[in-house]
C-alpha cells in the first residue's frame, strides 16, 4: 500500500460516510495541544481538525488532519479517525479514540497511528469541550499526543 493510495482511500471513506451523516448528523472538532518528540523526549506544538459522521450519539467515524506528529512538528497527518463516547456519566463522558493514516513530512513520512482516550465535557446540547490523550507511533518513532478542543454537532 503506497503513500499515494492512502489519501484517496480516506477520501472514498469520507464520501461513503456522508449518507450516514445525513441520517444521524455530523460533527466537527478542532483541537490544539502538543506531541512528544521521539521516545518521550520533550514536546512540540500540534493541532488538528476533524469531520465525523455521527452514527448515533456515541459513535463517530471520520477524517482528521492538522499539523504535528511524533516524527516532526511540521508533519501533516491525514488520518481516518474514530471516537466512541462511553456510556458512563451524563455531563462528563469518557471517550476512546483511534486514528490511522499517513503523515506527510520531508524527513519522516510514513504510516501513523494513535490510540487513546479522554473526556467529552458537554457545554450544551450540541457542543462539548474535549480533553484527549493518546499513544502515537510512526515507524520506529513513538510518543504521546495531548489535545484540548471544541466539538460541534450538527
Q: Distance between CA atoms of 130 and 68, rounded to whole angstroms?
A: 18
- What are the distances in angstroms from CA 24 to CA 57, 61, 63, 84, 152? 8, 12, 17, 15, 14
Q: Which pTM was predicted?
A: 0.80
CATH class label, 5-153: mainly beta
Residue 3 DSSP symbol: T
**Average pLDDT for 29-56:** 89
For 12, the grid coordinates are: 472514498
**Average pLDDT for 105-114:** 89
Handedness of CA 100, 129, 94, 132 (dihedral sign): positive
Give the tens place of pLDDT for each residue, 52-76. Answer: 999 888 999 999 999 988 878 889 9
Q: Which range (22-31, 111-120, 123-132, 139-148) has the least confidence? A: 22-31
Say which residues have a Cβ less than 8 Å from residue 16's Cβ, sequence separation at least 6. Answer: none
* pLDDT of 43 strictly over 80: yes
Amino acid at each position: 500500500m503506497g503513500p499515494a493510495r492512502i489519501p484517496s482511500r480516506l477520501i472514498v471513506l469520507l464520501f461513503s460516510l456522508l449518507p450516514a451523516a445525513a441520517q444521524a448528523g455530523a460533527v466537527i472538532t478542532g483541537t490544539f495541544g502538543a506531541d512528544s518528540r521521539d521516545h518521550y523526549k520533550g514536546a512540540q506544538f500540534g493541532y488538528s481538525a476533524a469531520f465525523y459522521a455521527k452514527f448515533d450519539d456515541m459513535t463517530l467515524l471520520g477524517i482528521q488532519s492538522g499539523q504535528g506528529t511524533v516524527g516532526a512538528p511540521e508533519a501533516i497527518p491525514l488520518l481516518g479517525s474514530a471516537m466512541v463516547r462511553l456510556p458512563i456519566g451524563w455531563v462528563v463522558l469518557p471517550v476512546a479514540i483511534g486514528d490511522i493514516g499517513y503523515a506527510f513530512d520531508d524527513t519522516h513520512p510514513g504510516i501513523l497511528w494513535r490510540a487513546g482516550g479522554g473526556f467529552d465535557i458537554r457545554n450544551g446540547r450540541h457542543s462539548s469541550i474535549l480533553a484527549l490523550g493518546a499513544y502515537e507511533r510512526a515507524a520506529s518513532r513513538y510518543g504521546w499526543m495531548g489535545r484540548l478542543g471544541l466539538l460541534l454537532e450538527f
